[in-house]
Amino acid sequence: MADDTSQQGEHVEEQRREVERRTSARRSNIKKDYERPTDPTQLHPFDPEYERPTTKPKHGVWSLLDRARAPGKSQEVWLTEEEMPKYRMPEAKPRAPGAKPDENDPVEKNVWNAMEMLGVDNFMVAIRTRCVRNAFMTGLGMGFGMTALRLIMRKSKGAATWGVLTSAGTSSLVFPYCLYKNRLEKSHMQRAVDISQQKKIAAEKKREEDRAARRKAKEEEDQRREEAKRKSTWKFW
């Protein structure tokens, strides 16, 4: 019995040593794979110890291809001082689990903050936009009607879904139709205005022609009278 216990203890000890050996080998391999480059030009451009290579950069398409390559490969990544802030990720402030996000932190942005930035005035302006209210009210009525119809038919399962889909579909159809009607009415009104302007111009032109004709007739009549008066003053001596 004692021999069996000692053999089991030796077996457990051997397994523990084997696990430690494998763990140390794995750690050494990981350290070898992630070994820091000694050449400063092979570091990442965001690394504080990074040094830009002294060789002249390429231009044109080859320069773009070089920028697409990862750092530490056969080609270097060329980033100017103005481009580095563009590609640098903002550093988020660490916080405890369950803590409220910091409003001043630019990383801590959510949907509610975006809604607060939009404001209520923008939604009011959208409602006052042409055809939006008409489409919304028509879709709302059709949605309620479809929901009531499903309930009357004793198909309450999915009635709300049918109502929402009907409302959205009706609104999406009524909105462009309303815009089309408004464009059509606008074109008809523009055509009516053009016709009215043309009629006004034609009437003004006709009045000018009548004035010119009356003026010409009056001048001819005056000239005829002068001629007759001159002939009546002739005498034989």
Walk along the chain (237 residues) in steps of 10 and give the mean pLDDT of each run. Answer: 66 79 67 57 63 54 48 48 58 56 56 65 69 86 88 83 89 89 89 90 91 90 83 59
Instruction: Say what the pTM is.
Output: 0.38
| Model pLDDT, residue 81 | 60
The predicted structure's pLDDT at residue 61:
47
For 197-208, letters b (16+ CB in 10 Å) and e give: eeeeeeeeeeee
pLDDT of residue 18: 81
pLDDT of residue 19: 77
> pLDDT at position 26, please?
65
Q: How many CA atoms lie within 13 A of 74 on its CB side?
A: 1
| The 3-state secondary structure of 19-76, one letter per residue | HHHHHHHHHHHHHHHCCCCCCHHHCCCCCCCCCCCCCCCCCCHHHHHHHHCCCCCCCC
Is 90 in a helix, a strand, or coil?
coil
Q: What is the pLDDT of residue 122?
A: 64
